[in-house]
Amino acid sequence: MKRSNNRTLLWFANIGLAVICLIALFPVIMLLISSLRPSSELMRTGISLAFDWSMLNLDNYLYIFTEANIYWSWYMNSVVISAITIVLSLFFSAMVGYALAVYDFKGRNLFFTFVVFILMVPFEILMLPLFQMMIRFQLVDSYVGVILPMVVAPIAVFFFRQYALGLPVQLMDAARIDGSTEYGIYFKIMLPLMAPSLGAMAILQGLGSWNNFLWPLIVLRSNDMFTLPIGLATLLTPYGNNYDVLIAGSVMTVIPIVILFIFFQRYFVAGLTVGGVKG
């Protein structure tokens, strides 16, 4: 009887989760269907299910691959900026977080307090001084101007510091006895142990950089330097809306994030659940 009740509860739980998944995926499904509709039909009825389903075709995607050259320029800009941001952010943020966790030096707690304080400050407050710095360094309208402020993210430093607190310090002592340098200990022993945290933060930093709209909008000036969020936003104007590229292009923007998540999925789950079970 108890086993039967458990199966019934499991069955209802699965149905509930399936319904939640459908609700969460409904906007994505609508976007995918709309990308297969002619732009004139979209202008007439909008994004809805009340349309002639026989009109679905791949013309919007063919237009992107054959005529929308500027779209692929935006796409490449986003890929380059996101890739560089992920690599640099993981490298420097992991190193800072590791140092704050395992080394006892003067001012360590004060430095960590500054990290937490900056974490609580909204980015909108920092935009003006950051933009003034970019002007002074002549980095406006460049990849470096977009990437530089994101290289050491406070949230990444905090995350790596918390993860590194659980690393076995005994390995460091053993490596020192064997004559290993501090850099050798970090790169050869400790960094591989931080792989789950690196995978989790790679997804979070990649998602943040890929979807970043405000800071690139402030720094970038040239149309061929725009990232995807800015470029797609320029397609909506008072003088006309290019839905051919906008809807299908929006679907294409999901692909890199899905690939990134699939690649780091097991690290992402392990990195976010670390510390949940002790023993």
* Residue 260 confidence (pLDDT) above 60: yes
Q: Give the gyration radius of the chain's Cα atoms.
A: 24
In this structure, is residue 279 part of a structural domain? Answer: no
Nearest to 273 by CA among 178, 180, 166: 166
Q: Of all helices (H) and strands (E), which one includes residue 66?
A: helix 59-66
Tell me which of 48 and 37 has the higher pLDDT.
37
| Pairwise CA distance, residues 83 & 210, whole Å | 9
Q: Is residue 142 part of a domain?
A: yes
DSSP letters for 250-273:
HHHTHHHHHHHHHHHHHHHHHHHH
The yes-or-no verdict on residue 110 having pLDDT over 50 is yes
Least confident range from 23-32, 73-82, 132-141, 218-227: namely: 23-32
Helix (H, G, I), strand (E, B) or coil at 48: coil
Q: Is residue 103 part of a domain?
A: yes
The region of weakest confidence among 21-30, 49-58, 255-264, 267-276 is 267-276
Mean pLDDT for the chain overall: 85
User: Are the beta carbons of 119 and 155 closer than 8 angstroms?
Assistant: yes
Q: Are the beta carbons of 151 and 85 closer than 8 angstroms?
A: yes
- Domain encompassing residue 240: 69-273
Mean pLDDT of 189-207: 89
Q: In the Cβ-directed half-sphere of 198, how many Cα atoms lie within 13 Å?
A: 15
Q: Tell me: the pLDDT tens digits for 9-40?
A: 888 888 999 999 989 888 888 888 888 888 77
User: Are both 48 and 111 inside the same structural domain?
Assistant: no
The answer to whether residues 103 and 46 belong to one domain is no
Q: Report the distance separating Cα 194 and Cα 177, nearest Å.
A: 22
Interacting residues of 198 by C-beta distance below 8 A, sequence separation 6+: 90, 94, 191, 267, 271
**Do 16 and 130 fall into the same domain?**
no
**How far, in Å, CA of 268 to CA of 174, rounded?**
29
Domain end point (choices 67, 90, 107): 67
Checking if the pLDDT of 269 tops 70, the result is: no
Q: pLDDT tens digit string along 157-178?
A: 999 998 898 888 888 888 888 8
What CATH number does residue 162 fall under?
1.10.3720.10
Whether 118 maps to a domain, the answer reads yes
Q: What is the pLDDT of residue 248?
A: 87
Q: Are residues 6 and 111 in the same domain?
A: no
Whether 44 has a pLDDT exceeding 80, the answer reads no
- Count the domains in the chain: 2
Do 51 and 96 belong to one domain? no
49 lies in the same domain as 104: no
One domain, residues 14 and 111: no
| Inter-residue contact 219 to 144 (CB < 8 Å) | no
95 has a pLDDT exceeding 80: yes
- Domain check: are 148 and 200 in the same one? yes
Task: Answer yes or no: do 40 and 87 share one domain.
Answer: no
- Which residue's entry shows tokens 């943040």? 208
Confidence of residue 81 (pLDDT cuts 50, 70, 90): very high
Which residue shows structure tokens 């993860």? Answer: 163
What pTM was estimated for this model as a whole? Answer: 0.85
Give the three-class secondary structure for 236: strand
Residue 120 pLDDT class (50, 70, 90 cuts): confident
Q: Is residue 5 part of a domain?
A: yes
61, 92: one domain: no
Confidence grade of residue 279 (pLDDT, cut at 50, 70, 90) = very low
Cα–Cα–Cα angle for 183, 188, 189, nearest 5°? Answer: 100
Q: Is the residue at 33 inside a domain?
A: yes
Task: For residues 35 and 88, state if they share a domain.
Answer: no
- Same domain assignment for residues 77 and 94: yes
Per the domain annotation, does 278 fall within a domain? no
Cβ of 66: how many Cβ atoms within 10 Å? 8
Sequence-distant (6+) residues with CB within 8 A of 260 are 202, 203, 206, 207
Choose the final residue of a domain: 17, 37, 67.
Answer: 67
**Band (278; pLDDT cuts 50, 70, 90):** very low
Domain final residue pick, 52, 67, 82: 67
